[in-house]
Structure 1
Amino acid sequence: MDSRVPSALELPQPLEPHPRDSWRGLGEEEQHLLSSTAAVQTLANVIRPCYGPHGRQKLLVTAKGETVCTGHAAAILRALELEHPAAWFLREAAQTQAENTGDGTSFVVLLTEALLEQAEHLLKAGLPRSQLREAFAAATAEALSALPSLAIRSLGPLEDPSWALYSMMNTHALSHADYLTKLVANACWASRELDGSFRAERVGVCALQGGSPEESCLLPGLAMAGKLCGQITTVLNGATVALFACPFGPASPNAPATARLSSPADLAKFRKGNEQLIEKQVSQLAAMGINVAVVWGDIDEKTLTLADKYRMVVIQARSRAQLIYLSEVFGTPLLTGLLPPQKPGRCQSVYRQELGEDGAIVFEWECTGTPALTVVLRGATIQGLRGAEQAVYHGIDAYFQLCQDPRLIPGAGATEMALAKMLSDKGSKLEGPNGLAFLAFARALRSLPKTLAENAGLVVSDVMAKMSGVHQTGNFLIGVGAEGIINVGHEGVWDTLMAKAQAFRAATEVVLELVTVDEIVMAKKSG
């Protein structure tokens, strides 16, 4: 391959994904990069319509056969069946971004796709692969170093965080955003430690179907949806909790078993022995001080009667996920049989809080390091509750980031356009691979506000022309709104600097790794 470095004028313009015929004449290593680009483009095409506050939603059919309506990229990525290693690699990076910051999943996917497309153009124009990687690394470092200069606002230590959380929670799937934002802001503010720090696990989220979003509220401690099964419904002082991932009753054998009974006396003896075993197990739980049992499984009536006898609250959880979360909060293991835990969970009180026609089970503590408040969400539909729940988690994660780094940068694509201008200005003055990479990086960044405009149903060429013109004057607060360009400072559209920086790193690390791939080796499938 010709090692001559082309000038910026010789570079091809952005094109649609290339057919395989265009790969002819390229080396085998370059073809591997192009196949990765095609796989990432396919993944990005799925996510792109969901990007931004005006993005659309998708109907997902999960592996369990459930139909879910969502516009959240993290949920969509989890549901996709991927085969190409590059797509797997990108999904892992995007999901890590979602786990660490709660936001930026779509950003990672779309920026990775745009950068790989630009890398493809540079590769076809004759830039050697090793120089391409070094030049992209330099452009990445320049963008990350320039990013903090755009942080013109910050959240004060005694300031109400509602204004900062609103734009991060106001997604296209959320109704009553103002009310829920204030609810989350109050929960986060009240759950701070004495030194002003904040831990996300201090705020729980509970979704209860029924009612309206205005009936959402805050409850002390940890609230969960569940069913109280016995006559004992409250522990007001000194609750000791055991978690059972099994039926609350006689154990079911793992292997088929048949009791051989030759007479009515044998049957009576068998039943009596079984009842004695259950009573012994429940009495052992009571002897260990267990007075709250949370069960994911069926509840046996006779066993429940014994629990009432020993003054034990029995709660039937709605899902295994609830039980796993309680296990993490209490620091006690899930039990697969009615045996006392070595380390039971402890809290101050357990009771039921009535909420309209429904209710929530509340676990309340008086010590630090435990859930302080729960945001209880109400809504008529499961889909609406899922969207609200995701938005609340975004708000909690955003507040956690702001407690670590209070700086905020312009949202709505304004930051991407500002960085694109900086890189373009510097790239036009540089010679060699770095100049080309800076210009390519700028083109990739401009694709993100372009996608926002497309999803908002705007005339993309007009919006991009107006944004570019204003940004050229030095005003980097202009972004994409519902009806055209907006001043994000006036509209209050902000992103946390921490989340944006991590998303930049995640996307560019994927690109730099894929650029170094010289071969895709697939292990032979077994069977």
Structure 2
Amino acid sequence: MALPIPRTGLATMLKDGARHFHGLEEAVYRNINACKELSVVTRSAYGPNGMNKMVINHLEKLFVTKDTGTVIKELEVEHPAAKMMVMATQMMEQEVGDGTNFVMVLSGALISNAEELLKMGLSPSEVAEGYELACEKALTILPDLVCHTLSDLRSKEEVVRALRTSLASKQYGHEDFLASLLADACISILPEDPRSFNVDNVRVAKILGSGVLATTVMNGMVFKRVVEGTIDRATDAKIAVYSCPFDSTATETKGTVLLKTASELKTFSKGEEDLIERQVNALSELGVKVVVSGGKVGEMALHFLNQYKIMVVRLLSKFDLRRLCRAVGATALPKMVPPSQEEMGHCDVVEVQEIGGTNVILFTQKAGDSRIATIVVRGSTDNIMDDIERTVDDGINTFKCLTKDGRFVPGAGATEIELARQLASYGETCPGMEQYAIKKFAESLEALPRALAENSGVKAMEVVSKLYTSHQAGDQNSGFDIEGEGAAVKDVAAAGIWDLYLAKMWGLKLATNAAATVLRVDQIIMAKAAGGPKPQDNPVVRDDE
């Protein structure tokens, strides 16, 4: 008879099926390997020449993009240590709206270089402390590297130059065209206090057909719908918005009506008709030319709205209804009553147009009057339009950051190499064991220009050595020239290749925090997974099914 083996240690306190890993070999190196694998996935997507990733999510939706935020979100990473890096990229998305790949590549390089230090004999806490010291020093050096400050947020020329670099890393070749569109959209709705700029006020409408260069911007909103009635255009229009259905209200209880004569049958629905006609007539007398309903529009109501030449638009999304109210300055009424002057909105032109075979309703305002701008994205496939939408979103977030802080540092790897050079010198002055971690932090910063070079098909070592030579000579704005022959370097600040100061600052903070958190984990305790057996890959189909 086989005797059960008694459990010892932590296993005695946990349920059957729980797993426990501890120590350098089992916990720390496992975590480091998981984080290295994740950062390798996105590293090849870094920079203008980065490669696209094709991700098919659990709903079988296809994503073809090099936007790291989207790729990481759709991968649904489960490893707890790799999730730390995912959380850092999500935080970057919330704070800056761009630069997610910067965080992913840097944190991956930091964790990968930490492995070498651990094998040399340093403890994980010494490495983490050294990284944090290096990050603090880097954040004190960063303000000295500022190469440009945006002076006027309402100057289109300056805003276009500011947005170019962010857009070029996603849509290389279309950056000037998209930057011009985004500058028009953002400046047209910029409030008096720029700090209150709302990212949600720049909308995107995707219409299949033509090419990316047919993308346009308009003041107002675009809805891919058709009008309910026969009126399809209104100018200088007062607008009444209802969040309820535009129809006669039904009674709560059922009732039975006994009709005895033909005249009673004729006049049965007369009262209801008169009521709806009075309501539509009241709107007409107020000068309302457009009615927007958040629910269904009754046939009888539609008949009278057509009779009084009032245009009818039905919006099924309550979010679209709210945004339209913001765009035209209306208040959504929960009941079918005539609106007051304050509750009515106004729009210069409301019309139905056909764009690429798709009917759309345009709510267009004069330049300067609109609170919402819409970018009508065109493209030959849905995937291209989705990628343009993500690029537009990054550009708008970059503009939002400019309203907080208009400083820029040189891009194309110039800032990272200068930080690495100065941190390596700082590491030499530190007496403790942290100096090794500080030097590795400096080495990790080289991963970003290396990724730029590798993705452009150039020898990374040659590029990094040329950049170091240039920076040692005193040119701190020298970066990798992706358009030059081979491992060329140039003054990227003069060429207008700038990165947001805020993006670099938050990127350094978040990447360091993620790496330090992963390194400080020395035990992994995993409870037994809940639920029954997992579904089979090829389930057996029974006869009764």
TM range (shorter): 0.7 to 0.9
- Give the C-alpha shift of residue 219 in structure 1: 1.5
Mapping of 1:173-322 within 5 angstroms?
173=171, 175-195=173-193, 197=195, 199-201=197-199, 202-233=201-232, 234=234, 236-242=236-242, 292-293=291-292, 314-315=312-313
- Give the C-alpha shift of residue 479 in structure 1: 2.0
Using the alignment, how far apart are the partners of 1:96 and 1:330 within structure 2?
Answer: 34
Question: Which residue identity does 1:192 align to in structure 2?
Answer: L
Using the alignment, how far apart are the partners of 1:326 and 1:63 within structure 2?
Answer: 33
Aligned to 2:468: 468
Q: Does structure 1 retain, via aligned residues, the 8 Å contact 2:242–2:335?
A: no
Using the alignment, how far apart are the partners of 1:281 and 1:137 within structure 2?
Answer: 70
Aligned to 1:348: 346
Residue 433 (str. 1) matches residue 421 (str. 2)? no
Using the alignment, how far apart are the partners of 1:174 and 1:324 within structure 2?
Answer: 35
The verdict on how the C-alpha distance between 1:140 and 1:223 changes in structure 2, with shifts beyond 3 A counting, is same
Deviations 1:151-210 (CA, angstroms, capped at 9, x unpaired):
121112264321121111123535533222112222323332335556143433333223
TM-score by length of 1: 0.77
Q: Does structure 2 retain, via aligned residues, the 8 Å contact 1:58–1:70?
A: yes
Q: Does structure 2 retain, via aligned residues, the 8 Å contact 1:116–1:511?
A: yes
Q: Does structure 2 retain, via aligned residues, the 8 Å contact 1:188–1:203?
A: yes
Using the alignment, how far apart are the partners of 1:473 and 1:415 within structure 2?
Answer: 15
Specify which of 124, 130, 143 is matched with residue 129 of structure 1.
124
Residue 73 (str. 1) matches residue 68 (str. 2)? yes
Question: Which residue identity does 2:353 align to in structure 1?
Answer: E
| Unaligned runs of at least 5 residues, structure 2 | 1-20, 255-267, 532-545
SS at match of 1:146: helix
Mapping of 1:477-488 within 5 angstroms?
477-480=477-480, 481-482=482-483, 483=485, 484-487=487-490, 488=492
Q: How many residues align?
A: 485
Using the alignment, how far apart are the partners of 1:332 and 1:30 within structure 2?
Answer: 64
SS at match of 1:521: strand
Using the alignment, how far apart are the partners of 2:346 and 2:331 within structure 1?
Answer: 19
Mapping of 1:474-513 within 5 angstroms?
474-480=474-480, 481-482=482-483, 483=485, 484-487=487-490, 488-513=492-517
Stretch deviating more after TM superposition (181-190 or 223-232): 223-232
Using the alignment, how far apart are the partners of 2:316 and 2:33 within structure 1?
Answer: 42
Aligned to 2:379: 379
The verdict on how the C-alpha distance between 1:387 and 1:472 changes in structure 2, with shifts beyond 3 A counting, is same
Question: Which residue identity does 1:146 align to in structure 2?
Answer: I
- Give the C-alpha shift of residue 323 in structure 1: 6.6
The verdict on how the C-alpha distance between 1:195 and 1:339 changes in structure 2, with shifts beyond 3 A counting, is closer
Question: Which residue identity does 2:44 align to in structure 1?
Answer: P
Aligned to 1:37: 32
- Give the C-alpha shift of residue 110 in structure 1: 1.1
Q: Does structure 1 retain, via aligned residues, the 8 Å contact 2:188–2:367?
A: no
| Unaligned runs of at least 5 residues, structure 1 | 1-25, 252-258, 260-272
SS at match of 2:40: helix
Question: Which residue identity does 1:210 align to in structure 2?
Answer: G
The verdict on how the C-alpha distance between 1:36 and 1:452 changes in structure 2, with shifts beyond 3 A counting, is same
Using the alignment, how far apart are the partners of 2:166 and 2:452 within structure 1?
Answer: 15
Q: Does structure 2 retain, via aligned residues, the 8 Å contact 1:207–1:378?
A: yes
The verdict on how the C-alpha distance between 1:129 and 1:187 changes in structure 2, with shifts beyond 3 A counting, is same
Residue 53 (str. 1) matches residue 48 (str. 2)? yes
Q: Does structure 2 retain, via aligned residues, the 8 Å contact 1:279–1:306?
A: no
The verdict on how the C-alpha distance between 1:311 and 1:62 changes in structure 2, with shifts beyond 3 A counting, is farther
Deviations 1:3-39 (CA, angstroms, capped at 9, x unpaired):
xxxxxxxxxxxxxxxxxxxxxxx96267423222222
Using the alignment, how far apart are the partners of 2:189 and 2:503 within structure 1?
Answer: 22
Using the alignment, how far apart are the partners of 1:178 and 1:47 within structure 2?
Answer: 25
The verdict on how the C-alpha distance between 1:458 and 1:235 changes in structure 2, with shifts beyond 3 A counting, is same
Mapping of 1:142-161 within 5 angstroms?
142-157=137-152, 159=155, 160-161=157-158
SS at match of 2:218: strand
Deviations 1:291-313 (CA, angstroms, capped at 9, x unpaired):
64466x99997886687578775
What RMSD over aligned residues (CA atoms) do the two structures have, in Å?
A: 4.4
Question: Which residue identity does 2:149 align to in structure 1?
Answer: S
Stretch deviating more after TM superposition (497-506 or 472-481): 472-481
The verdict on how the C-alpha distance between 1:193 and 1:427 changes in structure 2, with shifts beyond 3 A counting, is same
